[in-house]
Amino acid sequence: EMFGQLTSGLETAWNKLKGEEVLSKENIVEPMRDIRRALLEADVSLPVVRRFVQSVSDQAVGVGVIRGVRPDQQLVKIVHDELVKLMGGEVSELVFAKSGPTVILLAGLQGVGKTTVCAKLANYLKKQGKSCMLVAGDVYRPAAIDQLSILGKQVDVPVYTAGTDVKPSEIAKQGLEEAKRKKIDVVIVDTAGRLQIDKTMMDELKEVKRALNPTEVLLVVDAMTGQEAAALVTTFNLEIGITGAILTKLDGDSRGGAALSVKEGNIADFLKDKLGEPVSGKPIKLVGRGERMEDLEPFYPDRMAGRILGMGDVLSFVEKAQEVMRKEDAEELQKKIMSAKFDFNDFLKQTRTVAKMGSVSRVIGMIPGMGKVTPSQIRDAEKNLQNMEVMIEAMTPEEREKPELLAESPVRRKRVAQDSGKTEQQVSQLVAQLFQMRVRMKNLMGVMESGSLPTLSN
């Protein structure tokens, strides 16, 4: 069972929520501790675990109740989505050259499965109808050249070799020329690895890369490496510049740390220390899951997260429920607006939604075209929201539901002003604003119904 220990570690977290009604700040403390422990035991680095746990707790506390969905199921979904994000979100496809052969340069330490990947990759691409050629660039181990030749025969792909006396960059160039002559679609170049990162290896890789101008430079990483994978990716990327990684031996008893560390890893932290600037991580493009030539497949972050959690049915169930919920929410709001029932409770709910999403500045930052709002404008808006909340809290439940009461009675407005420590003018403004909002929303809905504006779909 891949990442079995991580799966069962996370299971203890869900189990602690059985019998709870909702997710709360209090009842997620224990489960979050379990999640943290499970990730650390899977060999994910501490900074990554911290960020992960923080993000999951924030979302868990803010999540609304969905009818029929238990809190433990909601937490599973939140953790799933966060795992997907951690592993890069979308699947990252191989890139092919627009014209001429696509050159894929493979780099990596010794023993990680680089030579095997060469042949597996050729086999994989051949099935997509691409002609391939392998180039034996590992000149230090004659056995490596033999191994590549044997594997090449096995998958029925030509292998370019030039013995051990020619420089790797020269072999690479010759191989590429040969591929061009033969109109080969993809050239896959094997290079020498070392047990450790060293300067000679990096210099040689740089030279090979210069000679080839490859479309893809993929770092082959052994899944057993754990969180060290992040540092490897970072170092190779800084030294030679890579386009992605291939994770091998996922069928072994690796704990999962590498799969979870390559994309985000400690890259951001590491580079901040080194260069003072954050740089995004590199995606895992393919994974090796066995010794057979067929055991190479694209890396799908969502499927991987699903496998880790082992709860595909729960995930799709929560997704469906969320969809229904979004629709019901929207419908309820629409009904309220149409019947002009939008009151101060709704007003408050809206401002709190904004607050829950983070600061106003963050929310504004997410709206396209709103990037030019100045910090002082944002501060004003934030202050404004706070003032509104204080005033609404000073209203009686009846006043919140029937804003007309406030509109009609200066005495009530005066009381609200006194209780909230705001001026009567501020209270009057707030009341006026609510009625304006009703009108605006009603107009907007009218426009939507008449079809001149597209209605928002889920």
Check residue 285 for interaction with ligand GDP (CB under 6 A).
no
Q: Could you give the C-alpha distances from 382 to 348, 352, 387, 388, in angstroms and in order?
A: 14, 12, 9, 10
Q: Which stretch binds ligand GDP (CB under 6 A): 18-26, 113-121, 401-409, 416-424?
A: 113-121
Q: Within 10 A of 43 (CB to CB), how many other CB atoms are there?
A: 20
Question: Is 203 an interacting residue with respect to ligand GDP (CB under 6 A)?
Answer: no
Give the binding range for ligand GDP (CB under 6 A) out of 114-122, 261-269, 349-357, 373-381: 114-122
- Mask 389-418, x = binds ligand GDP (CB under 6 A)? ------------------------------
Site track for ligand GDP across 174-193, x = CB under 6 A: -------------------x
Which residue's entry shows tokens 């051990």? Answer: 164
Number of residues that bind ligand GDP (CB under 6 A): 18
Q: 254: exposed, middle or buried (C-beta count within 10 Å: 0-12, 13-18, 19+)? A: buried
Q: Which letter does DSSP use for residue 446 in this model?
A: H
317, 69 Cβ separation under 8 angstroms: yes
The rounded distance, in Å, linking the Cα atoms of 426 and 436 is 15
The position carrying tokens 């299971």 is 11
Query: Among the candidate windows 15-23, 122-130, 288-296, 324-332, which touches ligand GDP by CB under 6 A?
Result: 288-296
Q: Does 116 sit near ligand GDP (CB under 6 A)?
A: yes
| Closer by beta carbon to ligand GDP, 156 or else 294 | 294
Compare residues 31 and 113 and give the one whose CB is closer to ligand GDP: 113
Q: Which stretch binds ligand GDP (CB under 6 A): 45-53, 163-171, 286-294, 402-410?
A: 286-294
Of the residues 93, 291, 408, 449, which one makes contact with ligand GDP according to CB under 6 A: 291
Determine, following the binding rule CB under 6 A, whether residue 114 of this chain makes contact with ligand GDP. yes
Q: DSSP H helical segments within 28-141, as ranges?
A: 29-41, 46-62, 71-86, 114-127
| Shortest separation between residue 108's beta carbon and ligand GDP, angstroms | 6
> Smallest distance from the beta carbon of 202 to ligand GDP, in angstroms?
16
Examine residue 113 and tell whether it contacts ligand GDP (CB under 6 A).
yes
Out of 226, 283, 288, 301, the only residue in the binding site for ligand GDP (CB under 6 A) is: 288
Q: β-strand 186-190 against 102-107: which pairing, if any?
A: parallel
Q: What DSSP letter does each residue of 163-202 carry, written as one string? A: -SSS-HHHHHHHHHHHHHHTT-SEEEEE----SS--HHHH
Cα–Cα distance for residue pair 231/363, rounded to 1 Å: 33
CA atoms within 13 A on the CB side of 429: 10
* Residue closer to ligand GDP, measured from CB, 195 or 367: 195
Nearer to ligand GDP, 189 or 268 (CB): 189
Q: Which of residues 32-51 bind ligand GDP (CB under 6 A)?
A: none
Question: Is the CB of 79 or the CB of 284 nearer to ligand GDP?
Answer: 284
Interatomic CA distance for residues 102 and 218, integer angstroms: 13
String of b and e for 277-298 (b: at least 16 CB within 10 Å)?
eeeebbbbbbbbbeeebebbee
Q: Is-contact 373 364, C-beta < 8 A?
A: yes
CA nearest to 110, candidates 87, 141, 83, 154: 141
Q: Provide the token pair at 273.
A: 């220390």
Which range in 48-56, 259-267, 283-291, 431-439 contacts ligand GDP by CB under 6 A? 283-291
Considering beta carbons, is residue 249 or 282 the nearer one to ligand GDP?
A: 249
Binding residue (CB under 6 A) for ligand GDP from 7, 57, 102, 115: 115
Question: Positive or negative, the Cα torsion across 369, 373, 377, 379?
Answer: positive
137 near ligand GDP (CB under 6 A): no
CA distances from 310 to 14, 80, 350 (A): 12, 10, 36
Nearer Cβ to ligand GDP (57/116): 116
The interface mask with ligand GDP, positions 240-259, x = CB under 6 A, is: --------xx-xx-------
> CB of 146: closest distance to ligand GDP in angstroms?
11
- Minimum CB distance to ligand GDP, residue 247 (Å): 9
Q: How many CB atoms lie within 10 A of CB 153?
A: 12
Residue whose token pair is 């010759």: 174
Q: How far is the CB of 189 from ligand GDP (least distance, A)?
A: 13
* Distant-in-sequence, close-in-space partners of 84: CB < 8 Å, separation ≥ 6: 301, 302, 305
Q: Which residues bind ligand GDP (CB under 6 A)?
A: 108, 110-116, 193, 248-249, 251-252, 288-291, 295
